[in-house]
Structure 1
């Protein structure tokens, strides 16, 4: 400030014929002392009297300060009543931008409302999603820290702990806070407080040898004098934070090294500073423990590498800008460089000066553009710095990243020294990222950054890291083993090309040829007693229906389509019912014939072949009606099942109506049961060509096959379920052919001597 004022006074173009002076008051980080100093400035003497000006020639035009936000708030509430210009060089509290509450407050420091943006950018870049926050426990930092927390959480970063520290905390309380920090899995800790709260906390942290934590500090901390405390260097070395870019003020370095106690005899701090810097005492003091006397010939440039230089404090340029903006505001007011009328230097009303200072737009000697926005904040941007304490005792701020308008940061080539004992960027996350194939499942009672990784379900996948949900594969695809993509499903149906389908198809064709061959033999030997016994035409019809029973198995092989689904069930149902109806007719004829002993009985009319033909027609017609109702109500259709088997689409026929299918099978079972019961009753009847025993045995096989079919059918899926149904058809058909017709073929071909009239009972 002294340098800036001297520079302005020596500049003939800025405030000509006006000399600036200053009074300096130390607030000592205390609101009461800050208010007392402000009232002394307003009063004009050392006795602060509110609302009184005791020095009539008082020419105070503005106040530069304070550093601490709480002090600035207390002072700004008083100065705002009089519209007294106040320009702070370090108070970052966002609340101070409220011009209704603080109409005369301006600042060259960056507002806290901007800092969360820089914190978020840094954390997102390094993927720090799990952090802790230490905030000052006072009314003002309480407000800003809550806003900070909301902004950070809105960016998707979770807060592991949010602890307030205070100058009033006891050692035990500080130890309990340190214990929470040490136990937390959050590696990154954000220091969002001021030096008065941080110093006692860091003293205890140093004594307890806290390690493993990486510190990020707010702009007010990264440039604060706390880094001059060598006892904290071990912990704070490597701290990063946003700060204004380093700007070297031309000529300021020479001014620093030209300072001497003889030039400032009334400065109460100058001699103490000299003694502390060079380790000596002035002659009017008694040396202790071999301390030497100060000669006054000591050179300040010897302290350059110990932090006494133009780049040592980030506040230098801020104070410099504060003085210059105030000076330019006054200059504009008295030189008519505004839309307002010219004013005399003798009428420097404070409220008038404030309006001109707000509208300042100039460039300082360091090349910076100075202008306040509508909130009284100097328009500027920040950079990321890494504070480093070197082994030789020197300290430095290293710029390691800059933020670009595209909302991303770019690391520079400078080496970052990582605090907490890390050799590279530490990891600070609550949960490891979920790889593709998994989804995030929030942990109960924990922030969103804490989650478990759950493998996607059978037909779902995720192809991104940290996916919050899994996507379903399309119907013709399924998730691979890692669930990070989908594969095309294989189609499953009983094909003619595969071994099982080929074998069943071959058996079906051979089975068709068997009753067809027997039919040819019967036709050729139609005049023989064996063929003519038990209704010759009914035997022919039975053999034809058996041919259809064998052939309908082919309808079940191959890729199903809706038309084949309809035909296979209807042909199957009608063919087998016709077959059972023929067997039932033959059985009834045998039983009736052997129970009619009177030659001229009126009941012999039932032995007529038209009766059995009618019976077959009626029984088959009932099945046709059931199938027609099935077709009209809910016919079978082609269906794809992609859930029963992973990675496979089962192409099958849906029965449409389970009730209709049950009726079809139930009716066939009813006829088979009736046929078995009648044949069983006539099994012991005499006669050379009595078929009752053969029919009984064939129906027994038929029933056993279809009864065992039910559990086997229900316990399988896909092509094997179809194979079970085909096997039941072929087995039951083969049972009928084998039991009923093969004995007759045996007699016709191999034992013709048995095929004589004296052995037959002819039924006409």
Structure 2
């Protein structure tokens, strides 16, 4: 809620505010107009070293990482920190600084761009430190070589904007300061995605794409080469950590896994290199993404070289993918095969000519030119006090006669191109501001800004809408977040013996070996998804690709091959006449059917003999005919099970066997009645005819007929293709329709056989020299044994063997009846005719 005050308090606050404003204005006048006056109250000032400037109507600032490192010193907080000492001069970034100077001179010489206006510049070396970046930013805002916070001491000139910095962390610090005053800032190499936040950095732009695009591209590169097990190294600053987060997320989203992620500690002189080298050496990952700068990466490379870490493929970010520091022959054994993204290489006409014209004698104002010359030609100027020894030989002395053409052609100019573009972006914004037409300007009521007195936020509006072509023809514009179009070059450090780019052999980087066709990946609990095991596809399923996540079932009429990588048509199985088992059973069935037919002929031939008459000739003939049908009905189970065959074969089997066992039961009852009817005064004499036997047969057969009729009416057997019983085979069989009906039919046969067995067993000791009851007892015992054994065998058999088991049971039980009842009689008739007499039949047992 708003603050409230009474009249007296408001007066006091008002006087306090007026006094504060007066003090600040007075001090500002003193600070800017008389910085050297002897006053007891003044702000502490700090001179900025590594500074290069040129006057002009409008000043353009620039910060560059001319030195890649600094001397580390322990700060004890007991005395003033020592002056910053820079080291590791970078030719590449010095060249990028020269790109700003070249662009400014080119613009000043162009009569069509900013006519009658001269651009100047203030550039400085940040020396890889936030402290120097802050000092430089404040000094440019202050308008002098000394930084005076919150004061502007520019004498008749305006600061248009700042080109810089190359690092994301330093750019963020500068953007926070410049954003307070709405000064435009265009970075040429800061790629952190956080800088796209317009709420935090309203005046920040860049000519290099955001890492948000690059990290997605790196993840796509990993996926393209089939690498699923990669390590990640990243700086512990804004550039590295934001890139690390995006890269890991994109890698995981693409289906790959991160073997390790380690930080390069930029605050330590050794960058934590010993631990990083050890982690990389022990990891099974063959591919490592490195999100760092060239100056930090060189220190890690030295440690990798010391520990002999080889055999890795390095994926480079734009910060070091084309760095001239890494073309050193010492690192080729480690970096051979490295691949990565580089910022788009634009063209700068006449820039090479400009660079070759640089010379210490001509550029006396340049504080870096002599150090650049020493670094380029590995020499020392005679005025240098410290002359080092290289391999016990004094370093070469610089003469000034060295030629730059042989040195600068090897230096990559991608960063320089971005600097060049950034300078032109500010120049075109100033040009549009200069040519603004009153009434159609971008400000209130179409107003325009004055080029000689514009404010930084005036120019900011024009930079947001800048759209132009560089002298080389490249289109330049910024999106709503201040980013350019994302365009990258893919570079690969792989040279043939002739020194040209050769065919790349793609290495394998996986946590687990690939699962071949026929296998699927199984995730191991507690391990990353990429560390899997290979498991054979389940039965009935295939996988026809490498590293399949899941297997796919075959269609119902197909089945996997042995390798389980494709589906083949399923073979059909049934008890065929072409199979050895099928034609063997068919031959036995046909041959067996000749036996009862032969016996029937014998009985007809010897029907007047006593033994044939004594065993009920008519029932014996009927039994032999039923046995003939029993043998022949087994043929219905062999061959392709047609629907009609399925419908009739079990019913035919049940009815024929019911007739057969009914005849046996009738014969047994006839024997018992015939014996008891011979007793004096027996009333069974009237039951000794054939009518009783036929009635028994008809009654027993009728029950089976009714059972089979109900079966066929309500749930008849049907043709079936069984794909579940036996894997990989389609079993063509006859489904019984109603299993209870089938077992009732079979159980009824067992009931008849059991009754016949019991009756025959009780009559086995009747005093008759040829008692048929004993033969019937053995026949029914064998019959029951066959069918009792059949039940578990039938239930455990599969496919055509189920049918074969039933055919075998039919033949065996039929043979049991034939062998036990008729073979002994035929033996007597044919081979012991002396026993086939009336006297022998009516004789008493001794």
TM-score (norm 1): 0.88
455-464 vs 604-613, which moves further? 604-613
Q: 1:233 to 1:584 in 2, by over 3 A?
A: closer
The partner residue of 2:401 within 298, 303, 315 is 298
Aligned-pair CA distance for 1:552 = 1.1
1:344 is matched with which residue?
450
Aligned-pair CA distance for 1:88 = 0.5
The partner residue of 1:414 within 480, 501, 508 is 501
Aligned-pair CA distance for 1:751 = 5.9
2:771 is matched with which residue?
690
240-249 vs 334-343, which moves further? 334-343
1:407 is matched with which residue?
none
Q: Distance in 2 between matches of 1:233 and 1:389?
A: 10
1:247 is matched with which residue?
346
The partner residue of 1:259 within 358, 381, 388 is 358
Q: 1:203 to 1:656 in 2, by over 3 A?
A: same
Structure 1 residue matching 2:425: 3-state secondary structure: helix
Q: Distance in 2 between matches of 1:553 and 1:499?
A: 16
1:14 is matched with which residue?
113
Cα contact 2:265–2:271 (8 A) shared by 1: no
Q: 1:550 to 1:287 in 2, by over 3 A?
A: closer
Q: Say if 2:720 is the partner of 1:639.
A: yes
Cα contact 1:189–1:214 (8 A) shared by 2: yes
Q: Distance in 2 between matches of 1:388 and 1:717?
A: 64
1:470 is matched with which residue?
551
Cα contact 1:158–1:449 (8 A) shared by 2: yes
1:123 is matched with which residue?
222
Aligned-pair CA distance for 1:476 = 2.3
Aligned-pair CA distance for 1:211 = 1.4
TM-superposition CA deviations, 1:498-535 (whole Å, max 9, x none): 34323322332333343344445545655554333344
Q: 1:139 to 1:325 in 2, by over 3 A?
A: closer
Q: Distance in 2 between matches of 1:428 and 1:751?
A: 92
CA RMSD of the aligned region, Å? 3.1
Q: 1:114 to 1:531 in 2, by over 3 A?
A: same
Q: 1:147 to 1:380 in 2, by over 3 A?
A: closer
Q: Distance in 2 between matches of 1:45 and 1:29?
A: 22
Unaligned stretches of 5+ in structure 1?
393-397, 399-412, 419-423
The partner residue of 2:693 within 590, 612, 631 is 612
524-533 vs 426-435, which moves further? 524-533
Structure 1 residue matching 2:123: 3-state secondary structure: coil
The partner residue of 2:753 within 672, 679, 686 is 672
1:183 is matched with which residue?
282
1:64 is matched with which residue?
163
2:629 is matched with which residue?
548
Aligned-pair CA distance for 1:391 = 11
Q: Distance in 2 between matches of 1:291 and 1:533?
A: 138
1:383 is matched with which residue?
489
1:421 is matched with which residue?
none
Structure 1 residue matching 2:205: 3-state secondary structure: strand
Q: Distance in 2 between matches of 1:453 and 1:107?
A: 48
Q: 1:314 to 1:471 in 2, by over 3 A?
A: same
2:513 is matched with which residue?
432
Q: Distance in 1 between matches of 2:672 and 2:734?
A: 41
Q: Distance in 2 between matches of 1:747 and 1:390?
A: 104
The partner residue of 1:318 within 397, 418, 426 is 418
Structure 2 residue matching 1:698: 3-state secondary structure: helix
Q: Distance in 2 between matches of 1:238 and 1:478?
A: 45
Q: Distance in 1 between matches of 2:812 and 2:496?
A: 94
Q: Distance in 1 between matches of 2:277 and 2:398?
A: 43
Q: Distance in 1 between matches of 2:672 and 2:214?
A: 105
Cα contact 1:257–1:299 (8 A) shared by 2: no
Structure 2 residue matching 1:191: 3-state secondary structure: strand
2:25 is matched with which residue?
none
Cα contact 2:318–2:340 (8 A) shared by 1: yes
Q: Distance in 1 between matches of 2:378 and 2:661?
A: 122
The partner residue of 1:75 within 158, 165, 174 is 174
Aligned-pair CA distance for 1:700 = 2.9
1:660 is matched with which residue?
741
TM-score (norm 2): 0.80
Q: Say if 2:506 is the partner of 1:368.
A: no
Cα contact 1:223–1:313 (8 A) shared by 2: no
Cα contact 1:252–1:310 (8 A) shared by 2: no
Q: Distance in 2 between matches of 1:477 and 1:291?
A: 81
Q: 1:606 to 1:145 in 2, by over 3 A?
A: same
Q: Distance in 2 between matches of 1:247 and 1:139?
A: 27
Cα contact 2:494–2:501 (8 A) shared by 1: no
Q: Distance in 2 between matches of 1:721 and 1:390?
A: 71
Q: Distance in 1 between matches of 2:380 and 2:629?
A: 125
TM-superposition CA deviations, 1:44-75 (whole Å, max 9, x none): 23443333223353411010000000111111
2:234 is matched with which residue?
135
Structure 1 residue matching 2:119: 3-state secondary structure: coil
Aligned-pair CA distance for 1:757 = 5.0
TM-superposition CA deviations, 1:226-285 (whole Å, max 9, x none): 437776555345533211343342111111121122333232222222334345544544
Q: 1:722 to 1:446 in 2, by over 3 A?
A: same
Q: 1:386 to 1:480 in 2, by over 3 A?
A: closer
The partner residue of 2:817 within 730, 733, 736 is 736
Q: Distance in 2 between matches of 1:695 and 1:252?
A: 121
The partner residue of 1:147 within 234, 246, 261 is 246
Aligned-pair CA distance for 1:5 = 0.6
2:430 is matched with which residue?
330
Structure 1 residue matching 2:320: 3-state secondary structure: helix
Aligned-pair CA distance for 1:87 = 0.5
> Aligned runs of 1:444-523 on 2, under 5 Å?
444-523=525-604
742-751 vs 265-274, which moves further? 742-751
Q: Distance in 2 between matches of 1:532 and 1:353?
A: 135
TM-superposition CA deviations, 1:170-199 (whole Å, max 9, x none): 869543332221121211111112345434
Cα contact 2:517–2:546 (8 A) shared by 1: yes
Unaligned stretches of 5+ in structure 2?
1-99
Cα contact 1:85–1:350 (8 A) shared by 2: yes
285-294 vs 89-98, which moves further? 285-294
Q: 1:526 to 1:268 in 2, by over 3 A?
A: same
2:46 is matched with which residue?
none
Aligned-pair CA distance for 1:293 = 5.4
Q: 1:102 to 1:689 in 2, by over 3 A?
A: same
Q: Distance in 2 between matches of 1:736 and 1:294?
A: 124
Aligned-pair CA distance for 1:2 = 0.7
Q: 1:173 to 1:84 in 2, by over 3 A?
A: closer
Cα contact 1:249–1:310 (8 A) shared by 2: no
Q: Distance in 2 between matches of 1:35 and 1:174?
A: 28
The partner residue of 1:578 within 628, 640, 659 is 659
Q: Distance in 2 between matches of 1:715 and 1:369?
A: 82
